[in-house]
Amino acid sequence: MTEQTETATETAIPPLPVEEPPVPPVAKSSRRVLWAVARWTAAVLVCGGLGAGTAFGITSMERTDVPGLATESDGRWEYPKLSLPALPADAPRPFTEGNVGEIHHADLRKLLLPAPAGATPDPKLNGGWATVDQYLAEYRPEDRTELKDALTESALRHIASRGWTMPDGTTTRIHLLRFNSVAFAEAYKDDAVRAGSVDGPLLGVEGIKMESEFASMVRVPYTALYTFVEAPQNADQTRWAYIQAGDTLALVTQTRKGEALKVPFQQTVTLQNQLLG
């Protein structure tokens, strides 16, 4: 009986499993790889090759809750949290069906980009209504009469303006011009951009170079962007941009002693474009 029991017991023991090479733990490393890819992808989208990737970061977010994208380490300014202003009852957004004239029904002053942290506001361009002469002060005296006539022919409704100076000496001025419809805005835009691309007609600008690469990177639906930089660089340098968005045309300028830095300019233009788009 003992031999039979031992034999039965030995027979009942299953063979040892064949050992296979251990599988490397991939989950943790995969998470690290995916996280690294995500971080680098985010860096590319936010910074971009020219520091203009703020457009990508904003366009993917809710239009009513646009962050200021403050990152001091890469040269950007600390803007406050942005939001689109409320519309009058039953008023459509500018690029919605039925709004043929692409009219911005919101208060134009509330569509102005606010000044970033640390800025000293310009008391003459304080975010309120501005005069035609205040806007035309951006141009050389010999060009103002022609542009003023073009404004009269283009049915200008009003202008809202804001300016500020940063601690590094960069001076920013933003003018929003609203017309009766997109057709009038485009007509004046052609005059202004043409004037702004011949021999540098902005006051104090001595040369001009168009920065079409940056303009092509800021993809805000239904808007057009034209960006320029003063070249060659002199004692100070100016960068400027026109944003045409429906019935509204924006002029954004930045001037700084030495070099007008690319990153804060592109950030400022992109955020203002987002508020109008």
Instruction: State pLDDT tens for residues 264-273.
Output: 999 999 999 9
Looking at residue 5, its pLDDT comes to 41
Is 135 within a domain? yes
Is 243 within a domain? yes
Is 266 within a domain? yes
Is 67 within a domain? no
Listed as own residue / partner, the contacts of 54-60 with beta carbons closer than 8 Å and 24 or more positions apart are 54/266, 54/267, 54/270, 54/271, 55/217, 55/218, 55/219, 55/220, 55/270, 55/273, 55/274, 56/219, 58/270, 58/271, 58/274, 59/219, 59/220, 59/274
Looking at residue 263, its pLDDT comes to 96
Q: For the chain, what is the mean pLDDT?
A: 78
Q: What is the percent of the chain where pLDDT is above 70? A: 71
**Residue 239 clears pLDDT 90, i.e. is over it:** yes
Return the CATH number at 239. Answer: 3.40.1000.70
**Residue 52 clears pLDDT 90, i.e. is over it:** no
Q: List, for residues 71-110, the tens digit of each pLDDT value.
A: 446 899 999 999 999 888 889 999 998 899 999 999 999 9
- Chain-centre distance of CA 32, in angstroms? 31
Average pLDDT estimate for 193-221: 80
Average pLDDT estimate for 215-222: 86
- Structurally, the chain folds into a number of domains equal to 1
Query: Strands 120-130, 171-179: parallel, antiparallel or unpaired by DSSP?
Result: unpaired
Residue 189 domain boundaries: 105-276
Is 176 within a domain? yes
Average pLDDT estimate for 154-174: 96
Is 226 within a domain? yes
Is 71 within a domain? no
* pTM of structure: 0.74
Is 235 within a domain? yes
